[in-house]
Chains A and B, each alone.
Chain A
Amino acid sequence: MFPTPIHQRPIVNQYIYKIFLPISLIIWLIPIFGILMTSIRGLGDITAGNMWGTPSEFLLFSNLYDVFTNTPMIKYTLNSFKVTIPTMLGAVALSCMTGFALANYKFKTNLIIFFIFIAGNFVPFQILMIPVRDLTFKIGLYNTITGLVLFHVAFQTGFCTLFMRNFIKALPQELIEAARMDGASEFRIFWKIILPLTRPAIAALCVLIFTFIWNDYFWATVLIQGDHAMPITAGLKSLNGQWITAYHLLSTGSIVAAIPPVIMFFLMQKHFIAGLTLGATKG
């Protein structure tokens, strides 16, 4: 193990480590504490410049009430779910199939197609922006959740294919061979053998895609205009423009925006980390 386990070190080092650990955590989380504290404050503290002292009042719930009643925050949050969940399901479904095809069959263009998926996954969004916006306009889906979801599904399929293909490729091939010998059709093999085995990969992808899409800001600004379809990231940004000084409300809104991916992360942490490290190839 590296570094040397701390309990094999002199007792003094152990104490220093144990004191230093929480201190470093607190320093690391200062930005988060800042926003939590601000969401408790009232306008009084903000105008008095009391940003870092003890809050003079505990107004978290009243701030939450303000945010939810005076702004379209509920709408934004719902929109975010309406974008994120279908994207997650769509991209995972498509990539289970593409991943299976690329991992399982030998054909001439196999690697080329695989590399196209990978390369596409890394391109800068700006090179896609104008044509995608144009296309979305033409098919009448500009400014709709469906339009945003369609693009997200297509784009995320790149990353998900990379992930799924590598995962399926690492599965024992004998299972598939045996099933073929028994005369199982390819679709049966996919449905009955591969899909159940890829469950951990599907879980990892779901958490990752949820986080990526929930936090997307760029495409939400390019493909959506107006509150009716705007997800929470773009919504926060537009509230930021309206409430130049209402930091307590903005902080509260930010926390609302951060809660779903944070919950997702804590519930599925193992899958999340496995996904981040496994998926990006065995380079």
Chain B
Amino acid sequence: MELNNPKAKRITWWQKNQIKISPWIFLAPGLIFFSIYVIAPIFVSIGISFYQWDGLSPSIYVGLQNYIELLDDEYFYISLWNNLKWLIFFMLAVPIGLGLAIFLNQIVFGIRLIKSLFFFPFVISQVVIGLIFTWFYQPNYGVIAPFLNFIGLEGFSILANENTATYGIIFAGLYPQIAYCLILYLTGLNNINPEQIEAGRMDGAKGFHLFWNIVLPQLRHATFLAIVVTVIGALRSFDMVAIMTQGGPYGYSNVLAYYMFEQALSEYGYRMGYGSAIATVLFTIMMFYILFFIYRMYRNEREDNN
């Protein structure tokens, strides 16, 4: 009976194409927003880097002039070099985070609260962390003053010295970053396959050998994540520099992210074109990591589908 009902047979256009069109309706708001505010600006910025522009008066096309100027800019090299220091020393967060995670991966009274308190610095704003460490480094009454006196460096100011300022900031930056890696590794340790560990122990694996050959390979995912977020964090370092030294003394603790801001949008001038050129360099460096990350995801997707 029902098959003869004409209403049940008629399939509307919408019903036929629903599956094809629905994804685009769901995607539209997010994708449009994201394109306007994130994707398009990348290309606009790269475009601006070929112009001379103060943000108000008409821009003048200068070709590669901004990049040529960069090649001769001493402060650009200092910032680039500092970024490299950030990349290298910020990586310490990964092994330290792992070490702490192993230390804390126990079941004793109060351990949950203790773990949460170890996560603490990650939740707090970098502005606050930067302020705290700035006082720590105060030469006369900071927390390290007694130590400095002890080694004979009375009144030494870490953040005012061109050789130590960057390391001082990186050290402060490590504080929340270690907490971040700790979180990742604790979850990783939690998800480890206990049977493999037991099998390893049966075979007589102990201590470092067990850790290196059986535990660490299983923490691959956590390690990958920790490295990704640490690299991104190192290249994005802005807040700490802005709060602690503003790139000083004389640009010696500058990094590309802050130097770009300083050139484009501060009392030092509104050099949008030059700033964009710096941003483009930073973007290019970051792009290597982004592509690596995406390549890895792509590989996983393919494995999932097979």
Contacts and interface: CB of A to CB of B under 8 A. Distances in A.
Interface stretch (B67-75, B138-146, B153-161): B138-146
A129 B261 contact: yes
A105 B183 contact: no
Interface string A182-217: 000111001000000000000000000001001101
Contacts of A107: 20, 23
B239 to A, nearest CB: 5
Contact of A153 (B33, B48, B224, B238): B33
Nearest to A235: B127
A102 B128 CA distance: 38
Contact of B45 (A21, A105, A131): A131
Contact of A215 (B126, B183, B301): B126
Q: How large is the interface on A (under 10, 10 to 19, 20 to 34, 35 or more residues)?
A: 35 or more
B81 interface: no
B13 interface: no
Contacts of B289: 122
A105 B21 CA distance: 10
B297 A281 contact: yes
Contact of A261 (B123, B229, B261): B123
Contacts of B280: 127
Contacts of B260: 126, 129
Contacts of B272: 130
A190 to B, nearest CB: 7
Interface in B247-298: 256-257, 260-261, 264-265, 272, 275-276, 278-280, 282-283, 286, 289-290, 293-294, 296-298
A102 B107 CA distance: 40
A250 B131 contact: yes
A283 B300 contact: yes
> Is chain A's binding surface mostly helix, strand, loop or mixed?
helix
Interface in B7-47: 18-20, 22-24, 26-27, 29-31, 33-34, 36-42, 44-46
A266 to B, nearest CB: 7
A153 B38 CA distance: 11
Nearest to B235: A124
B174 to A, nearest CB: 12
B133 A277 contact: no
Given A18-B108, A120-B39, A123-B286, A257 B257 contact: no
A78 interface: no
Given A2-B192, A52-B143, A123-B283, A130 B135 contact: no
A32 B84 CA distance: 29
10 contacts: A34-B135, A124-B283, A154-B36, A186-B19, A217-B126, A236-B125, A254-B131, A257-B128, A265-B119, A276-B187
The 7 closest A-B pairs by CB, nearest first: A154-B37, A131-B41, A101-B26, A98-B30, A215-B125, A105-B23, A94-B30
Given A17-B106, A113-B27, A240-B243, 17 more contacts: A1-B192, A30-B143, A34-B135, A34-B143, A94-B30, A116-B34, A116-B39, A122-B289, A123-B290, A130-B48, A154-B33, A247-B135, A254-B128, A258-B128, A277-B184, A283-B296, A283-B297
